Amino acid sequence: MVSRAVEEAGISTVTLTIIPEVTKKNGVPRIVHSPYSFGSPCGRPGDVEGQLHVIREALKFLQEANTPGELLTLSRR
């Protein structure tokens, strides 16, 4: 996975997914579970505020997560 290589270079990552069970098996360090669908994991098309919410929460989680494989599940707005 790309995220592992990036992490090995000293850069923290967070993976946004709609299927956390599969993503977790890949061993990524931080996972944000999006409640949206394939093709629109950041939110509905045209919903800028909702998309910004997902991105902000993912970045906040990137700073706060302490345990490898930690999962944050977002809810729809």
pLDDT of 31-54, one tens digit each? 999 999 999 999 999 999 999 999
Distance, CA of 53 to CA of 44 (rounded, Å)? 12
Provide the 3-class DSSP secondary structure of residue 16: strand
Q: What percent of the chain has pLDDT over 90?
A: 71
Quote the pTM value.
0.86
Q: Residues 28-32: what's their mean pLDDT?
A: 93
Using the CB atoms, write b or e for 38-74: b if 16+ within 10 Å. Answer: eeebbbeeeeeebbebbeebbeebeeebeeeeebbeb
**Which candidate, 74, 70, 75, 76, places its Cα nearest to that of 23?**
70
Distance, CA of 49 to CA of 59 (rounded, Å)? 15
Asked whether the predicted pLDDT for residue 77 surpasses 90, the reply is no
